[in-house]
């Protein structure tokens, strides 16, 4: 099999698309935490050792763009933002549970 054929196969594989969505230093951990409760940015900074504001902001934005997280603005004093799993994100929870059993 040529490398060109291999590239074509990985680009059409649904699992490859999922892995691309979750690729990144903090994305799997953010996703895992989002399955437990809504996420607040300051809480993420405390919970993920070694993270920083910039890298977390980029990861959150990419997960939103992938349709796995949604940003919810809570209009109370003080105003705050939470990140919740979308229906698409929730549909991936069983996949992650199965992967946990393999490790």
Q: Crossing angle of helices 27-34/14-22, nearest 10°?
A: 90
Distances (CA, A) of 60 to 2, 13, 39: 36, 24, 10
Report the pLDDT value the prediction gives residue 77, as an integer from 0 to 100.
86
- Dump pLDDT digits (tens) for 77-95: 888 899 999 999 999 999 8
Domain parsing of the chain, residue ranges: 3-102
Q: Give the pair of three-digit tokens for residue 2.
A: 């040529």
Question: Is residue 2 classed as helix, strand or coil in its secondary structure?
Answer: coil
Fold of 3-102: Arc Repressor Mutant, subunit A (1.10.10)
Query: Is the model more confident about 17 or about 32?
Result: 32
């Amino acid at each position: 099999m040529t490398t060109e054929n291999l590239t074509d196969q990985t680009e059409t594989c649904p699992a490859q698309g999922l892995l691309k969505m979750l690729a990144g230093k903090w994305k799997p951990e953010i996703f895992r935490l989002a399955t437990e409760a809504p996420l607040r940015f300051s809480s993420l900074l405390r919970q993920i050792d070694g993270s920083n504001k910039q890298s977390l902001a980029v990861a959150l934005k990419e997960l939103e763009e992938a349709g796995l997280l949604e940003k919810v603005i809570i209009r109370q004093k003080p105003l705050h933002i939470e990140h919740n799993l979308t229906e698409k994100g929730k549909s991936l929870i069983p996949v992650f549970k199965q992967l946990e059993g393999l490790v």
